[in-house]
């Protein structure tokens, strides 16, 4: 089992005003991209050759108008007997955050990790995304495979959408995506092609109506929470990730926005991505969008399998 070194993915927070800060942040983003190790959304070029069979899984976009094809390399993640324990400072007490958890996430399917608060949803998501690494106090064991092979130091392209969205508040939605595309898509050298690519993304993520609105922040009102979440997803999609991880993507959103975000995730799964999210108490209108469910309680697995009616049948066996 390869759980790698001690690196924990870091995010850079941008805030405040001023061109100087923007330039500094852009420079920081470029440096991060150049020097970061394998991490979500900042991975180096995908080194996997896509053969003819894999073309069958190409993302459909919104009509194939993109100047570069949206190709999703299919990745199945399988995990077996994942155990994660944490030793308190004294070293006397050990807490089990995950206990022998197994499951599978497949391309074309939306998997929801569900469970009460503190049940280990985020911990499992982070383990699967390679965001938690073993340390002397944090022990990890089990098997983690991508397409049948143990996870290597150079996994497939993963995207990780965090609970907190990090943007330049004074940029518009379109400018945010253009900047992300400029930083990540060096192969598109023509501005017109990049604009077309951005327009495509705006359309795909349902952001056309707010494309020219400022993102905003806590001080200056901008786009809504749901739009921010879909903008985060759009930024992550630029790297054409095989797997999309989303940590509590509906937290803080009203029922309508939560449903739209989950619908976007469901459509991304249909485009061929493997989509895994953690979610706390989803409404029924959100629950029906899941293809698969992993249900945890106190770090232990209660159910892993298809969503909708199957869990009911499974639990009714136990009365
Ligand atoms: N690095 C860590 N060190 C110590 N304890 C941790 C660590 N990470 C998580 N925990 C603990 O593990 C348990 C599970 O945390 P986790 O965040 O995975 O739960 P969750 O199901 O996502 O909860 P919520 O829905 O409230 O976000 C919690 O009791 C938490 O305090």
Tens digits of per-residue pLDDT, 240-278?
A: 899 999 999 988 888 888 898 899 899 999 989 999 999
Establish whether residue 135 lines the binding site of ligand 1, counting it when its CB lies within 6 angstroms of any ligand atom. no
Q: Which is the closest atom of ligand 1 to the Cα of 123?
A: 18
Establish whether residue 280 lines the binding site of ligand 1, counting it when its CB lies within 6 angstroms of any ligand atom. yes
Give residue 117 CA to ligand 1 midpoint distance, Å. 8
Taking 50 as the pLDDT cut, the residues of the chain under it are 1-68
Burial status of residue 134 (CB atoms within 10 A of its CB: 0-12, 13-18, 19 or more) = middle
209 inside domain: yes
Establish whether residue 204 lines the binding site of ligand 1, counting it when its CB lies within 6 angstroms of any ligand atom. no
200 inside domain: yes
The residue contributing the CA closest to ligand 1 atom 3 is: 86
- Number of structural domains the chain divides into: 1
14 inside domain: no
Ligand 1 pocket check: which of 122, 127, 164, 249 to mutate, most ligand atoms within 8 Å of Cβ? 122
Establish whether residue 86 lines the binding site of ligand 1, counting it when its CB lies within 6 angstroms of any ligand atom. yes
The residue contributing the CA closest to ligand 1 atom 28 is: 118
28 inside domain: yes
Establish whether residue 99 lines the binding site of ligand 1, counting it when its CB lies within 6 angstroms of any ligand atom. no
Question: Hunting for tokens 């996997």 — which residue is that?
Answer: 48
Give residue 298 CA to ligand 1 midpoint distance, Å. 10
Q: Can you give the CATH number for the domain in which 293 is found? A: 3.40.50.300
4 inside domain: no
8 inside domain: no
- pLDDT (0 to 100) of residue 6: 34
93 inside domain: yes
The CA distance from 45 to 159, in Å, is 13
Give residue 278 CA to ligand 1 midpoint distance, Å. 12
- pLDDT (0 to 100) of residue 70: 61
What are the residue ranges of helices labelled H in the chain?
19-35, 52-55, 121-128, 173-184, 191-204, 225-237, 255-270, 284-287, 309-316
Establish whether residue 38 lines the binding site of ligand 1, counting it when its CB lies within 6 angstroms of any ligand atom. no
Give residue 28 CA to ligand 1 midpoint distance, Å. 30
Establish whether residue 115 lines the binding site of ligand 1, counting it when its CB lies within 6 angstroms of any ligand atom. yes
Range of the domain at 100: 19-41+61-316
- pLDDT (0 to 100) of residue 25: 47
Q: Which is the closest atom of ligand 1 to the Cα of 120?
A: 18
54 inside domain: no
Burial 206-223 (b: 16+ CB within 10 A, else e): bbeebbebbbbbeeeebb
Q: Are strands 110-114 and 274-279 parallel, antiparallel or unpaired?
A: parallel
Q: Which is the closest atom of ligand 1 to the Cα of 247?
A: 22
Establish whether residue 131 lines the binding site of ligand 1, counting it when its CB lies within 6 angstroms of any ligand atom. no
ipTM of the complex: 0.94
Establish whether residue 97 lines the binding site of ligand 1, counting it when its CB lies within 6 angstroms of any ligand atom. yes
The residue contributing the CA closest to ligand 1 atom 17 is: 122
The CA distance from 261 to 233, in Å, is 9
Give residue 281 CA to ligand 1 midpoint distance, Å. 16
- pLDDT (0 to 100) of residue 5: 35
- As a whole number of Å, the CA-based R_g of the chain is 20
- pLDDT (0 to 100) of residue 154: 67
DSSP state of 223: S
């Amino acid at each position: 089992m390869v759980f790698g070194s001690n690196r924990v993915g870091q995010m850079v927070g941008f805030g405040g005003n001023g061109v100087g800060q923007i330039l500094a942040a852009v420079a920081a983003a470029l440096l991060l991209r150049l020097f970061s190790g394998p991490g979500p959304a900042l991975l180096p070029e995908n080194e996997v050759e896509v053969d003819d069979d894999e073309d069958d899984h190409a993302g459909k976009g919104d009509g194939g108008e993109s100047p570069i094809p949206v190709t999703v390399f299919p990745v199945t993640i399988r995990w077996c007997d994942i155990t994660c324990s944490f030793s308190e400072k004294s070293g006397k007490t050990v807490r089990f955050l995950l206990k022998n958890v197994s499951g599978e996430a497949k391309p074309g399917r939306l998997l929801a990790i569900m469970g009460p608060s503190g049940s280990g949803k985020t911990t499992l998501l982070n383990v699967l995304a390679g965001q938690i690494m073993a340390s002397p106090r944090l022990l990890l064991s089990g098997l983690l495979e991508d397409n049948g092979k143990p996870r290597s130091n150079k996994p497939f392209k993963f995207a990780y959408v965090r609970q907190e969205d990090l943007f330049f508040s004074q940029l518009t939605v379109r400018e945010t995506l253009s900047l992300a595309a400029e930083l990540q898509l060096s192969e598109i050298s023509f501005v017109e092609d990049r604009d077309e690519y951005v327009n495509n993304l705006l359309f795909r993520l349902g952001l056309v109506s707010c494309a020219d609105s400022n993102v905003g922040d806590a001080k200056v009102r901008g786009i809504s929470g749901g739009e921010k979440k879909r903008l985060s997803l759009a930024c992550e999609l630029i790297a054409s990730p095989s797997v999309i991880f989303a940590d509590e993507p509906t937290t803080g959103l009203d029922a309508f926005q939560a449903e739209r975000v989950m619908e976007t995730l469901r459509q991304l799964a249909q485009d061929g991505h493997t989509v895994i999210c953690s979610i706390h108490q989803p409404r029924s209108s959100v629950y029906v969008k899941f293809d698969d469910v992993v249900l945890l309680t106190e770090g232990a697995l209660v159910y892993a399998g298809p969503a909708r009616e199957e869990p009911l049948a499974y639990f009714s066996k136990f009365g």
